[in-house]
């Protein structure tokens, strides 16, 4: 069920109508669970069984890891089960195509397994729950051991809560479980909800859904006949599309969750103003970055075992993070690419805010900062080619055509010019945030932010692109 569909809006409104009935306040968790199951079953009715089973297994494993003897065994089993589910359903096809005979036996079986929507996200939620329970990072009821029935109910809500179910944000269990309780309609922060939903739907429906019609020409073999300017414009347009699509989804999820009294963590913080790759990953898909940092990078040793081990840990973390995005070797290459960027940056620049050092202040300092910002944006944008063109040879061919077609084909095709129109609002969105403390910006622009939201709302109604699923649904 897409966030940008009328049936989803109907589900949210119907759930709210029942959820906030005073006589049903003690059933709010069950109401959210039913809504979540309906939301998931709309596209994957049979795979709802897998989601429910995952919730039950994680409840048993985390409960045992926190409240029973042999807690380490419970925790280990829970993590192994989650990783096995992920490997079986998401990577079984890739492994069978690479190493097994797909005509017979287990290889054929693995190729027939479906890819459950959101499995990457709800298995990571399960791992967070089990590990946090084992480490004693949260208490459901202080001073007493909760009954398993209540614990199961809370765990299912954490795993299945529909705003975050299919594409995050990835919420740590210790941050979500403490919020579970009775909510009232009067507690809704309508200003926060309005800003989140309008910005989210604008980024998704106006920017991403319109850009997709023009970045379509990046696919093979259409890009081969395009000029250098068009090819570059589409690369940067697709980069903006990726941000708008996923940041839009996250803001909608955060806004919808707030309607039911739950705060999900920020997932994007204007990533394209980053002046280093390290900063970029603190701003892009923040909850995934934090998850990989806390549960993988630090577990591998982090930066505590010398420089060479730190570089290796960074590379391994990003490689696995890349492979998490999809069951294709191109995603592993993408993760390796970002891992190498982080390693080289740390090797040559340390932990400086930006690498290009021209001066410490004044014009030279600003030039250094803006140059680093442009360098990171360009490098990240070309990395997204591996998402648009999952076949590695096609991505290489695309880059080759940028050089080969210079001067031999019309530099910029007229059909690609609308990309500029849809890119500009996102650039301005980042610029306004970057200069948010400037007196002129605060006085003449941010002071009248309701006008900006009014314009975005108007464009959502009048200039939305054709309905399209969210990019991260495939992960």
Closest Cα to residue 457, out of 199, 212, 259? Answer: 199
Cα–Cα–Cα angle for 316, 249, 177, rounded to 5 degrees: 75
**Please, are residues 238 and 213 in contact by the beta-carbon 8 Å criterion?**
no
Note if 391 is an active site residue.
no
Catalytic residue, chosen from 325, 338, 391, 430, is 325
| Backbone dihedral angles phi then psi of residue 321, each to the nearest 5 degrees | -65, -35
Dihedral over Cα of 433, 438, 443, 445: its sign: negative
| Angstrom distance (rounded) from CA 404 to CA 398 | 10
Q: Using CB atoms within 10 A of its CB, is residue 434 exposed (0-12), middle (13-18) or buried (19+)?
A: middle
| Angstrom distance (rounded) from CA 285 to CA 295 | 16
As annotated, the active-site residues are: 325
């Amino acid at each position: 069920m897409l966030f940008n569909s009328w049936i989803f809006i109907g589900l949210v409104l119907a759930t709210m109508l029942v959820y906030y009935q005073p006589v049903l306040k003690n059933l709010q968790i069950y109401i959210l669970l039913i809504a979540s199951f309906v939301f998931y079953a709309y596209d994957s009715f049979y795979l709802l069984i897998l989601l429910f089973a995952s919730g039950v297994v994680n409840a048993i494993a985390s409960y045992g890891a926190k409240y029973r003897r042999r807690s380490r065994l419970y925790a280990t089993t829970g993590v192994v089960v989650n990783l096995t589910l992920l490997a079986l359903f998401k990577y079984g096809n890739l492994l069978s195509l690479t190493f097994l005979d797909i005509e017979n036996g287990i290889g054929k079986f693995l190729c027939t397994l479906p890819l459950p929507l959101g499995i990457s996200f709800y298995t990571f939620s399960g791992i967070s729950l089990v590990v946090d329970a084992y480490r004693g990072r949260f208490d459901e009821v202080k001073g007493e051991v909760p009954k398993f029935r209540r614990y199961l109910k809370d765990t299912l809500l954490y795993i299945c809560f529909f705003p975050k179910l299919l594409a995050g944000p990835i919420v740590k269990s210790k941050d979500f479980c403490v919020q579970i309780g009775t909510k009232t309609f009067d507690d809704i922060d309508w200003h926060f909800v309005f800003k989140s939903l309008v910005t989210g739907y604008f980024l998704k429906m106006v920017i991403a859904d319109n850009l997709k019609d023009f970045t379509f020409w990046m696919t093979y073999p259409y890009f081969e006949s395009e000029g250098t300017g068009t090819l570059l414009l589409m690369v940067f347009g697709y980069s903006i599309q990726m941000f708008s699509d996923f940041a839009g989804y996250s803001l909608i999820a955060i806004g919808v969750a707030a309607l039911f009294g739950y705060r999900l963590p920020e997932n994007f913080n204007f990533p394209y103003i980053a002046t280093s790759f390290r900063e970029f990953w603190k701003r892009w898909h923040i909850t995934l970055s934090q998850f990989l940092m806390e549960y993988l990078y630090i577990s591998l040793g982090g930066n505590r075992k010398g420089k060479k081990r730190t570089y290796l840990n960074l590379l391994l973390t990003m490689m696995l993070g890349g492979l998490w995005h999809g069951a294709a070797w191109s995603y592993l290459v993408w993760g390796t690419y970002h891992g190498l960027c982080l390693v080289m940056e740390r090797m040559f620049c340390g932990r400086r805010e930006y690498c290009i050092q021209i001066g410490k202040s004044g014009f030279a300092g600003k030039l250094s900062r803006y140059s680093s910002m442009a360098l990171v944006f360009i490098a990240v944008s070309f990395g997204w080619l591996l998402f648009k063109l999952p076949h590695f040879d096609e991505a290489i061919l695309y880059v080759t055509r940028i050089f080969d077609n210079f001067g031999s084909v019309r530099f910029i095709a007229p059909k690609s010019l609308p990309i500029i129109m849809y890119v500009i609002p996102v650039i301005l969105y980042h610029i306004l945030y970057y200069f948010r403390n400037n007196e002129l910006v605060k006085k003449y622009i941010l002071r009248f932010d309701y006008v900006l939201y009014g314009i975005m709302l108007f464009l959502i109604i009048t200039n939305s692109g054709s309905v399209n699923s969210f990019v991260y649904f495939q992960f």
